[in-house]
Structure 1
Amino acid sequence: MGQSDANNGFLRAARDGNLDEVIRFIKDGVHVNACSQNGLSALHMASKEGRVSIIRELLKCGASVAVTTKSGNTPLHVAALAGQEEMVRLLVQADANVNIQGPNGFTPLYMAAQGNHVTVVKCLLASGADQGIATEDGFTPLAVARQQGHDKVVALLLENSAGGETPLSAPGVTNDGCKSAEHGSSVAQSSSALASSKRSWASRLGRWLRNKKT
């Protein structure tokens, strides 16, 4: 079996939760951080699918929690977006950066808030996630949660914010989503920026899902 085939087999085993095969491939010399053409590692795939035993084995064998896909997502981004609370806990315990920013400036907390994954949001906040970090378009986890009607996530973010307040968006944007007068912008412009950010991410996610099979 060539190295490329071995790497692909290893990644499939991680994705499918086949622990014996994962161990065999590693023993046979496949690097634990081997990636697909899109930069997806075994840790990314196991995180997406919620493969606890695979994650534990990969971490034990030295898998990097900082490895990114070509689009800039870490395994923690993937786990948060997928709502995989146990995967998030394991990655954080392995010193994954909870505030790392991926595509468009999205943090794991932003992705969890966007996906309405309440328990993941709670886990990330307890692990030191900063809900004040905004995307490149200036929107915070609270902004996207409120915009999408995720009331439980909104309540959780407000409950855990310093002094009971947290910004909806970057400086110059008021808590009703409007830019302040001195910035000369409107609610429509803010909403348009958020919608554009969501469409961009949705497009990236769609490509990732189409290509995640090795």
Structure 2
Amino acid sequence: MRPREKLCTAARDGSLEDVIKILDSGGNINWKGSNGLTPLQEASKAGQLEVVSLLLNHNAEFEQKGATSLHLACEGGNIKVAELLIEHGAVIDQPDQSQKGSTPIFKAVENNHIEVVKLLLRNKAKFNVRNNKKETPLMIATKKGYKDIEDLLIKMHSLTQKDRAKPQKSDSKKSGGRRVMGSSGKIARELAISVIAETI
């Protein structure tokens, strides 16, 4: 087995010592295996939190094309891995390069991982986005009969519509002769989103 395959296999299997050994012997942290996945993608897909942490702390690159590590973590319901990836700057609304063009929230919804959906929402993932088939996460949840996720997304949509319907208030302060719009509405909305995501 070639070193790159050994590295990707070790990452997928959670063999932390083997990953370290291969990297120390000159292995490229961003090598791709025969299936086109990097060690970070393999570890994220398999839910290998320690390996993911090691790779991120050694500056493994996030993918620019295809299903990203965050897509794969969300698809597998690996919430701790997804959380770590987000903390390290993974693009939360990046579409994949498949025919569907799905963002990570689609992967979480499609596989009925409500806790991952909540995590993404708390981190401001767009929930009314459409994929290349013109589907929204809510449409997919409804079609698959995932009632808890459906209820969550309906509440989020309802909150958004109410927020849009309210007239914007401005602060009394002025800047350059113009009123400065207050941020209290935005803050309240973000807090409400966080509360909804936590309680459902």
With the shorter chain as reference, the TM-score category is 0.7 to 0.9
Q: For residues 122 and 8 of structure 1, what CA distance do their matches in structure 2 show? A: 35
* Secondary structure in 2 matching 1:55: helix
How far 1:138 sits from its partner (Å)?
0.4
More strand by share: 2
Partner of 2:70: 76
Matching residue of 2:175: none
Q: Which runs of 5+ in 2 are unaligned?
A: 163-200
Maintained 8 Å contact 1:125/1:160: no
Match status 1:121 vs 2:117: yes
Name the structure 2 match of 1:96.
90
Cα distance between partner residues in 1 of 2:102 and 2:11: 26
User: 2-side partners of 1:126 and 1:45: how far apart?
Assistant: 25
Match of 1:8, SS?
helix
The count of residues paired between Structure 1 and Structure 2 equals 160
SS in structure 1 at match of 2:7: helix
How much does 1:162 deviate?
5.7
The question of whether the paired residues in 1 share the 8 Å contact of 2:5 and 2:34 is answered with no
1:105 pairs with one of 98, 101, 117: 101
What is the CA–CA distance in structure 1 between the aligned matches of 2:20 and 2:4, rounded to whole Å? 13
Decide whether aligned partners of structure 1 residues 133 and 151 sit closer, same or farther in structure 2, where only a CA change above 3 A counts.
Answer: same
User: Distance in 1 between the 2:29 and 2:48 partners?
Assistant: 15
Equivalents in 1 of 2:35, 2:5: separation in Å?
Answer: 12
Question: RMSD of aligned C-alpha atoms?
Answer: 1.6
Q: Is 2:79 the partner of 1:85?
A: yes
Using the size of structure 2 for normalisation, the TM-score is: 0.76
Distance 1:67 1:164 in 2: 30
TM-score (norm 1): 0.71
- Give the Cα separation in 2 of the matches to 1:147 and 1:49: 27
The yes-or-no answer on 1:144 pairing with 2:148 is no
Tell me the CA shift for residue 66 of structure 1.
2.7
Q: Can you list the C-alpha shifts for 1:43-96, whole angstroms capped at 9, x where unaligned?
A: 11111111111001000111112354xxx1101111111111111101101110
Aligned counterparts of 2:157 and 2:61: Cα–Cα separation in 1: 31
CA contact (8 A) 2:70 2:82 kept: yes
Correspondence 1:5 to 2:2 = yes
One-letter code aligned to 2:91:
N
Conserved in 2, the CA contact under 8 Å of 1:65 and 1:76?
no
For residue 161 of structure 1, report the CA deviation from its aligned partner: 3.0
* 1:77-135 deviation line (CA, Å, top 9, x unaligned): 11111111111101101110110101221110011011110000000111111011101
Which of 124, 129, 133 is matched with 1:133 structurally? 129
Find the aligned partners of 2:26 and 2:158 in 1 and give their Cα distance. 49
1:56 and 2:45 are equivalent in the alignment: no
Which amino acid letter does the alignment assign opposite residue 44 of structure 1? Answer: Q
Moved over 3 A (4+): none
State the identity %: 31
